[in-house]
Amino acid sequence: MSVELTTAGIVASLGVLFGLNFIGLFVAAYALDRTSGHIVWYLAATVAFIVSGVAFLLSSLTPLTAPFLIIDDLFTGAGFALLGVGFARAFALDIPWRAMAAWMSVGLVLVPALALIGELALTRLIPVSVWHAVAPTVIGLVLWRAPEGRTIMRVLGAFVLVAALAVLVRPAFSVLITANPALDHARQVEIYGALVSIPFLVAMFGIAAGVFFHVMSDLAHGYRNASITDALTGLLNRRGFLDAAAEQIATPAHLIMVDIDRFKTINDGHGHDAGDRVLVAVAAIIARAAPRPHLSGRLGGEEFAIIAQRTETATARALAQSLRSAIAIELDGVVAEGVSVTASLGVAPIVDRDVASALIDADRALYAAKRAGRNAVRTAPDQVASPERRRGSRAG
């Protein structure tokens, strides 16, 4: 028995093939970042749409038209629902899930009940098309209207709405085709399949491409963040801090250096776990005291730095004093009962956006605080550093 593939069958086959391609891409993306749970939902949605495409293809190649139409319709609805879960997890969308679940439950009864009526019958196409279109319409509108939505969200929302429209026009195509008496039923079904599958495939390709773009962009952004973030404290690392400082200085600005006093003694006497607890606690105090637009980072070891934006010297010094006091109070007993933790701080103005020189000046001020007995704040002279000081190295 020969099998002739119709135009609709060719389109469905192409859809299945590009769906399989995206499965491979999503699996690879999830392997790179297993914390991105939304990728799993995109993968599940892709599988559902592939099953739908295969069922659509088999409905035209085998005599089991009705069973395969049921599978096609149910998995199309499931694909949109799974896609919606992925979008909700990726973009923190507020989707009415109870109403959506209830509507999906309606389809579990509606689709099998109407399957035997006929592929082109309006009594089947209208309710099934409306059932299919509700989920993508809701998802597309939520994506499009999300407050402070990213451009990719609006693009995805547009393609999802196009997919909903491609589903809704199916009854209209049926009316146009069945109105032509020159076409027999087999030819009508073939033309109908081609007309409804092509716009749907185009919309789904747009959705898949948009989803893959946002997944890859998020992965790249995640790797970029990992490369500039201190894994222990969550603050910027030295590279991230200096890169951000080079781009985001808002004058007048001051650089505050923080160095935990006798940190080596803590590590040697109480273990590195105790030292890590101190570092995390100090970082939390700094992050709380100097939120955006200020910049804060861990430069290495027990040294931290803050760039206080749009801050005069008196205000920067007051911030440093509050940090010193908070560290002494909040970290008392963190290492062990009766063990105090303090920090020395140096403050220096950032002149002409010269962060490198400010680091040298703040470092000198910090070690002046160390020499003064620790647990102190010292401020560098509010003047342009001399050429000799600019060539100096940071104290050890």
End-to-end CA distance of the chain: 85
**Lowest-pLDDT choice from 23-32, 119-128, 236-245, 339-348:** 23-32
pTM, 2 dp: 0.68
**Is pLDDT of 72 > 70?**
yes
At 262 the pLDDT is 93
The verdict on whether omega for the bond into residue 293 sits within 30 degrees of 0, i.e. cis, is yes
Q: Which CATH architecture has domain 238-391?
A: 2-Layer Sandwich (3.30)
Taking residues 341-356, report their average pLDDT: 94
State the average pLDDT over residues 213-228.
84
Long-range CB pairs of 383-388 (<8 Å, 24+ gap) are 383/351, 384/351, 384/352, 385/351, 385/354, 385/357, 385/360, 385/361
Highest mean pLDDT among 25-29, 59-63, 81-85, 176-180: 81-85
Average pLDDT of span 296-321: 95
Percent of the chain at pLDDT exceeding 90? 48
**238-391: same fold as 7-228?**
no
Query: CB under 8 Å, gap of 24 or more: what pairs does 105-109 form?
Result: 106/131, 107/73, 107/74, 107/77, 107/131, 108/74
| Cα distances (angstroms) measured from residue 320 to each of 313, 327, 369 | 10, 11, 12
Tokens 């970029």 belong to which residue? 224
The tens digit of pLDDT for each residue in 28-42 reads: 766 666 677 788 898
Alpha-carbon span 77 to 48, nearest angstrom: 9
Q: Count helices and strands (H / E) in the chain.
A: 14, 5
Domain extents for the chain?
Answer: 7-228, 238-391
Q: What pLDDT, on the 0 to 100 scale, is given for residue 15?
A: 72
- AA identity, residue 115: A
Reduced to 3 states (helix: H, G, I; strand: E, B; else coil), residue 349 is strand
Residue 276 pLDDT greater than 80, yes or no = yes
pLDDT of 390: 39
Write out pLDDT tens, residues 133-158: 999 999 999 998 887 768 889 999 99
Confidence of residue 381 (pLDDT cuts 50, 70, 90): confident
Residue type, 343: A
Q: What is the DSSP letter of 96?
A: -
158 Cα distance to chain centroid = 19
- Tell me the C-alpha to C-alpha distance, in Å, between residue 92 and each of 44, 104, 148, 227, 357: 19, 21, 12, 25, 43
CA distance 361 to 374: 18
Q: CATH for 7-228?
A: 1.20.1070
* Rounded mean pLDDT, 286-291: 94
Strand 343-349, strand 254-260: pairing: antiparallel
pLDDT, residue 384, reads 38
Q: How far is CA 339 from CA 179, 269, 279, 327, in A?
A: 89, 11, 15, 13
Q: What is the DSSP string of 106-150?
A: HHHHHHHHHGGG-TT-HHHHHHHHHHHHHHHHHHHHHHHH-TT--
Give the pLDDT of residue 53: 85
What percent of the chain shows pLDDT beyond 70? 90
Q: What is the mean pLDDT of residues 61-88?
A: 89
Kindly tell me if the per-residue pLDDT of 130 is higher than 80.
Answer: yes
